[in-house]
Amino acid sequence: MATVAVLVVVALIVVLVVASRGGQGAPGATGTEAPAFSSDPSATSTPVTSQDPQEGQVPPAEAAPVAIDATAEPVPGVVTSISALAAVDGVADGPGEVAGPALSFDVTVRNDTAEPVSLAATVVTVSTGEDQLPADALSTGSVPLPSDVAPGESATGTYVFTVPADRRDDVRIAFDYLAGTPVVVFAGEAPRS
């Protein structure tokens, strides 16, 4: 009798396992087809990155670059500038950060309008070299711009990005103030040491 009970339990387990798999294929099969690859060695593909615009989207427009020590207005009454550009030893404290040669700089936004200006959506990035590779931001030493600037006031944020000394001949600091406005680009040579 005990043997029959064991066989019934084993049979139930087998049925449950088969039913839970829902008729899936061989063990390890995911149920999705593998991507098709061409066996033609001359075939090429275009990689899609997270920075590629989606269908129907247009990448943000960039204003003509200005000198690193110039001022720029992404919109009338919002004046931006870069100052205190310096070579520093970047410290890595955050996930994925890598310590090394870096640049530190201040971004100042002056509000010459009669209304508060929101900086909540502002993004600051750096790219370097002839190929304009993006630089990585470091959290240590960085103090982002506040969320808004009162009328007639200025606000300053400090940013640190890893930039090897040999890539500082052509540095571009992009200030993306708000979606739908041109990205302000400050371009020029940065200190090596």
Residue 74 has pLDDT above 70, yes or no: yes
DSSP state of 167: G
What pLDDT does 32 receive? 45
What pLDDT does 56 receive? 62
Q: Percent of the chain, pLDDT > 90?
A: 66
Domain spanning 67-188, CATH class:
mainly beta
- Nearest-CA neighbor of 132 among 51, 182, 54, 187? 187
- Nearest-CA neighbor of 133 among 104, 107, 168? 168
Taking residues 97-106, what's their average pLDDT? 98
Separation CA 62–CA 176 (nearest Å): 9
What pLDDT does 61 receive? 87
Q: What's the chain's length in residues?
A: 193
Is the pTM of the predicted complex or chain greater than 0.85?
A: no
* Tokens at 29, concatenated: 């099969």
